[in-house]
Structure 1
Amino acid sequence: MQTRHRWNRLIVALLVIGAGTLFLLDNFYVIDISPGEIIADFWPLILVYFGLVNLLQSLRGVFDGRRICSGELLFGLLLLFLGANFLAMNLGFPHVSWLDIWKLWPLILIYLGIRLLLSPRIKSRSSSHSDQRKGGQWYRHEHGDGYEYNLFGEINVGKVPFSLENKHYWVGFGSIDLNLTQAIIPNGETLLRANGMFGSINVYLPSQLPTRVNGLCQLGSIDIMGVEDGGIIKQTSFQSPDFEEAEQRLVLDLSMVCGEIRVVRV
């Protein structure tokens, strides 16, 4: 993380020095530049820069012995493509029309389908709450009011013991993995909400925790406590027999627009 910050600071510093040098030369009539034209033509370099940052950050997993963060990789490639295409358009080079780009939107569904097909049915208990690994670091936010979201990437919770509390998770394109097997459950009722647009929601529960689950998947598959269904607008509910009388209760409210919802006891 410190290395990335040093590189970011170095790049910004070099850009500022370069801009100052160009403007200084222009003031002394050594060169003739128009700041407005430069900004109008080369602003897509901002997208290229952030695309490279996301791309390199996602590929660090190869060198650190971790798996590649697919959400961050995908978003980095998208920013690179958009930035390069805008730049080519501004400079008069061949570029792809935005109408043709829009025709490629089904690739998102293909990507998510392949991700669901290749993902393991039961994942290891390797995610954490206190040491959360999240893809799309540029777009992930956590608020003090118990709301956390990630536009592109992953939200993984549960590696070491942690205190469970009311929380709302949301992901745009990616996955939410909640491993509650080592969670410290408070007395009373705890509510967890997890929602997404495209991707998957996986929840792993301890075997004896009284739970009530409401799951809704607009398009895809749903598996709650072994009850599986798939198709369009599928909704499944579950409640433990001793839920109403239990001192410690968990309520799960899960929904996904397109993808997969899965809740299992491990």
Structure 2
Amino acid sequence: MEGVNKKQWGCASFLLVFGLLLLMINLGLLQLKGSASGLIIPIILLIIGIAQLIKFFSKRRGILSGLIFTVYGGLLTAAFFSEDIAFGYGDIWRLWPLLLIGFAISLITKRTSIHFSYGEPKVGGRKEVNPKETYREKSGGHEHKSHIKHAMSIGNEAFTSENWALENMKLNKSVGNYVFNLKKAYISEGETMLDVSVRIGNIKMTVPEELSVEITSNVAVGENVLFNDRTDGAQARTLRFRSDDYDTAPKKVKIILDVNVGSIRIDRI
């Protein structure tokens, strides 16, 4: 629409939707569970989402943000009118499957051919990690180097077989789940590093009581459980644990876990 800027369009859309809802409330067609002022933020989110979806159909971009804002704002709005819908601001992490849906829609509607690559992730045409990357380990005042194994994949992977070898590893999964059982792992002396990151998915790990560990566990959106500590929601905090005898233990594992959307659960056995 010529002569109408984005601010005017956004303001007009908000007043239109908000006015229609208030009219339906006054006519008895809808009943609020709370104050009408509580509808302002959900409606703004809904309008932003609809605008992004319209942008996607015309310019083929913005599908992910459009889906999230539309569904998030729509559910928050619906929760004001129905006792059957239990959805709040902290429940946004429950919408993580929208990432898969948005990715699928973008692939289907992409105008150019799609190429999949497996291996190390790249940024700006350059490798983000070096396959020869080494992990520096200090022991007895000397510094040793050991190679780190890298892997990047889509799907599920389990390290639960008897006497599986725990080595210095850096694992990166775009979509999927990891399961680790350190009770069954063969662990050599010294410090071993296990660095695992997942964009969308879950990480489950069991750690034996007698094993000395230093753990950093981070979930951006979802549930994060580290032994007796737990956090969840859209603003989950990083959890940390370090064994009392970590510095002097002959065998120890440094664990770094990171999930963008999903969950991490670490239990003692």
Scaled by the length of structure 2, the TM-score of the pair is 0.48
Q: Which has the higher helix share?
A: 1
Scaled by the length of structure 1, the TM-score of the pair is 0.48
